[in-house]
Structure 1
Amino acid sequence: MDKQPTLFVGIDVSKDRLDVHLRPADEDFHVPRDVKGFEALARRFGNRPVALVVLEATGGFEASVAAALAAAGLPLCIVNPRQIRDFARAMGRLAKTDTLDAEVIALFAERMRPPARPLPEPERRHFAELVSRRRQILGMINMETNRRDHAVDGQLIRRLSRHIAFLEREMSELDRDIGQAIKASPVWCEIETLLKSVPGLGDVTARTLLAQLPELGTIGRHQFAALVGIAPINRDSGLMRGRRSIAGGRTSVRGVLYMAALTAIRRGSSFRPFYERLTQRGRPRKVALVAVMRKLLVTLNAIVRDRTPWRPLTT
């Protein structure tokens, strides 16, 4: 009896159904995005050698699918849709249907082999949703405040002010819920305290890292830089050489690290001499700031890994 080939599975998730493609078998099928569909998927893969299942992060629709697949013991990775789009363009795949999308995701799984990552535990997932919602509300407050600042009509200004006040109350309630979630977990309490021992890190940064970067303290510095999107990427083309930039990764984490690095520099912490040495050597300020972000991330990773509070940098 011939041995079955190892399968790489791509799943395109939509509101009502899942389009599935298997590589290298080139099989296509679809199931409804409900409990029966999840059970059918688990049965279909039950006796077959699955190396990896890849889903796109689709704004929440993928969460229940990922939970069902993880419960079935399947190796799973949820990837940024941008990675799939870039991969499709590189292959010249411009046509777009749910079936073709599933095929591209399966090809990405087979050729790129992203590492399988376990889902966060339910408590962390709930905590991450609270932190994400807080970020959304903050964005709405900023937008509404900008609209109010440019409004002329008095009645419209009052309405915008009422909506801003409502959003601010919502954010206060979320802050309370986030604080209670941390207090309910001794481990999170300890990690939050360790993170906040670093100059420039406050509640928002520490809680975003807890929610959006569960790998903190478990993987190496170079992996982290790529994961967060602060690793320099080569863009050598034609006569252009030596230019590097950062892209991709977890934008919410990168955003809070940026603010934390900026605060640390302005407050004159021991990150500031490192920043000043870089700028004195001719590095652009933005490049030096990204270097501080990387150094800060490496420091945070070591603090969580070793369970040791902040100590001022000596270099």
Structure 2
Amino acid sequence: MEATSIYHENLAYFLYSNNIKVCVANPARVRKFAAGISVLTKTDEVDAEVLVKYGELAPYNIWQPDSDQLRLLKQLILRRDAYTSELNREKNRLDQAYSNNTNSKLIEIIQLDIENINNRIQYLDKLIDETINDDISLKQDLCLLESIPAIGKRTALTLLTLFKGKSFTNAGQAAAFCGLVPLQRQSGSSIRGVSKISRSGSSKIRSKLYMAAVVAIRHNPHIKIVYDRLLRNGKAKMAALCAAMRKLIHIAFGVLKHQKPYNENLIGFAKIPC
């Protein structure tokens, strides 16, 4: 089946509970596969036939369900992110209201909305902390991720659900999943396009990694070295920043794989500080 945001999950869990093997395919890859076999029509019947062919010919992994705690954590984080976006919109409305000399009663309504959203976010933070504390593995892995300079709690939670929810065998797979792998355009001697990241993964993960990378190029020695070297070699700042994001993924994968906190000296790993 194709991944459809969260709408495929109930069917996937139902099939798994009935001992039926499930593959959840990336819809974009299925669409490209269809184009590759000259199927341009898109209907439910045609899509079903394409998925059958995709299952026969394309490599895929058997889907494994998240633990109950991890599934709950993902849902809580998703809801918090939604409230955060809503909060930003309301703050923008408040700024506009002040600048447009809006009626004070309307301003008061917006202020109450902001207060209510903040209260919901605080309650969700409490539920997230409780969920983490109820699972030793989640708690320790979150601690390891937060040991990386420039990785705050929000980014650490995003990375935690990413690595816990996917069976990556190496950091390169994780970077590719996030859409941070550079794609080259070259043909013969005449076509040499500028390399760009694939952007095939979650834009939400990339946005949080972007903010972390902006901090990391100033405060994380490993990231700063990579960033400065690329700038010296003539790379654009955005390309260097994408490389910094990719390096953060590699570091995060490493601390979780070895179950040791970040060590800037690269001489072993320090004792877990929590």
TM-score by length of 2: 0.85
The answer to which structure has the higher helix fraction is: 2
Which runs of no fewer than 5 residues in structure 2 stay unpaired? 267-274
Aligned equivalent of 2:133: 183
Whole-Å Cα distance in 1 between the matches of residues 53 and 110 of structure 2?
A: 48
The equivalent position to 2:236 in structure 1, one of 268, 281, 284, is 284
How far apart, CA to CA, are the structure 2 residues paired with 1:116 and 1:244? 32
**Number of residues paired by the alignment?**
261
Greater strand share, 1 or 2?
A: 1
* Residue aligning to 1:171: 121
Question: For residues 119-154 of structure 1, what are the alpha-carbon distances to aligned partners after superposition, in whole Å with 9 as ceiling and x for unaligned?
Answer: 211221111111111111111112222233223332
Which residue of 1 is the match for residue 72 of structure 2?
126
Q: CA deviation at 1:67?
A: 0.4
Q: What are the equivalent positions in structure 2 for 1:221-260 lying under 5 Å apart? A: 221-236=171-186, 239-246=190-197, 247-260=199-212
1:217 and 1:303 in contact (8 A); partners too: no
What amino acid sits opposite 1:117 in the alignment? W
Distance in 1, matches of 2:168 and 2:14, equals 25
User: Separation in 1 of the partners of 2:90 and 2:37?
Assistant: 42
Does the CA contact (< 8 Å) of 2:66 and 2:165 recur in 1?
Answer: no
User: How far did residue 198 of structure 1 move?
Assistant: 0.5
Determine the structure 1 residue equivalent to 2:15.
69
* Inter-partner Cα distance in structure 1 for 2:5 and 2:59: 23
Q: CA deviation at 1:248?
A: 0.8
Distance 1:257 1:135 in 2: 15
1:202 matched to 2:155:
no
Gaps of 5+ in 1: 1-54
Shift of 1:237: 6.8
Q: Which residue of 2 aligns with 1:144?
A: 90
Does the C-alpha gap of structure 1 residues 128 and 308 become closer, same or farther in structure 2, counting only changes over 3 Å? same
Q: Contact between 1:216 and 1:304, CA under 8 Å: does it hold in 2?
A: no
The alpha carbon displacement at 1:243 in A equals 2.2
Partner residue, 2:245: 293
Is the partner of 1:79 in helix, strand or coil?
A: coil
Structure 1-normalised TM-score?
Answer: 0.75
Query: What letter matches 2:205 in structure 1?
Result: V
Moved more, 195-204 or 160-169: 160-169
